[in-house]
């Protein structure tokens, strides 16, 4: 049984992770961190990382990108492996994650769903075949409270496609008017916000007289929580370094 510290425990995803950990046989939630205090929790919730007294095996951070550097500093100081599941990270924070990985085991993915990461592997096989003859568009849909647009997953899909193309494409965020002459050299990325959509990503390959769509739909946030737990159990066994879903899937 591995002891987990959950950062961002009172947020939307934090609550889902709490439930997933409660129902998991190999992990237990021994402490949480959140800027919002909550007195009826079955585990202690701290507002100061330095005050945490419990024995921790692995940290899961599902908070806000403004917290990520503090999480990394704490984990380095305590020599703890960490799963960063926060989205909307800047290049500066991504670099801080890579720097931290020189000192501790760090797991990061813009999307913790195993299905999304299997989709990425499929896209990387398909995209080079279709590169010359098909236009690529990515459409992502999320609930109206999501703070970043386009989603980190949409950008992850685009980056994964671009990484395997002979000629990387420029990203265009939304399309308006009639200026689509360069569409074959672009990846269009479109964000929709509304209702309570947990997450939906469609990659569209549009050719002459034929269309290919690859789509992932999250039916609940539980898939991200379960993925984070799998990542925590994986990273807890690793030595210093940077790890992603690629490594986790290879180990399955």
Kindly list the catalytic residues: 142, 146
Please check if 111 is assigned to a binding site.
yes
Please check if 20 is assigned to a binding site.
no
CA atoms within 13 A on the CB side of 21: 29
Please check if 87 is assigned to a binding site.
yes
Please check if 241 is assigned to a binding site.
no
Please check if 190 is assigned to a binding site.
no
Please check if 177 is assigned to a binding site.
no
Please check if 38 is assigned to a binding site.
yes
Strand order in the sheet with 135-142: 170-173, 186-193, 135-142, 199-207, 210-218
Summarize the annotated binding site for (S)-2,3,4,5-tetrahydrodipicolinate as residue ranges: 143, 152-153
Q: Enumerate the known binding-site residues for NAD(+).
A: 8-13, 85-87, 109-112
Binding residue numbers for NADP(+) = 38
């Amino acid at each position: 049984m591995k002891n987990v510290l959950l950062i961002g425990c009172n947020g939307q995803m934090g609550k889902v992770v709490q439930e997933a950990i409660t129902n998991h046989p190999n992990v237990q939630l021994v402490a949480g961190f959140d800027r919002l205090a909550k007195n009826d929790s079955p585990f202690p919730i701290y507002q100061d990382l330095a005050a945490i007294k419990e024995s921790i095996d692995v940290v899961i951070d599902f908070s806000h990108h403004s917290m990520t550097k503090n999480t990394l500093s704490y984990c380095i100081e305590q020599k703890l492996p960490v799963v960063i599941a926060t989205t909307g990270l800047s290049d500066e924070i991504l670099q801080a994650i890579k720097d931290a990985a020189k000192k501790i085991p760090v797991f990061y993915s813009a999307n913790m769903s195993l299905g999304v990461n299997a989709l990425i592997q499929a896209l990387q096989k398909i995209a080079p075949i279709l590169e010359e003859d098909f236009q690529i568009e990515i459409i992502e849909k999320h609930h109206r409270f999501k703070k970043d647009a386009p989603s980190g997953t949409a950008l992850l899909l685009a980056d994964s496609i671009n990484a395997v193309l002979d000629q990387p494409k420029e990203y265009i965020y939304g399309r308006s008017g009639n200026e689509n002459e360069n569409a074959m050299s672009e990846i269009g990325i479109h964000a929709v916000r509304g209702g309570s959509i947990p997450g939906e990503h469609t990659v569209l390959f549009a050719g002459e007289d034929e269309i290919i769509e690859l789509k992932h739909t999250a039916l609940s946030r539980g898939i991200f929580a379960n993925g984070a737990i799998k990542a925590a159990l994986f990273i807890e066994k690793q030595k210093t370094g940077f790890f992603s879903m690629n490594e986790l899937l290879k180990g399955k």
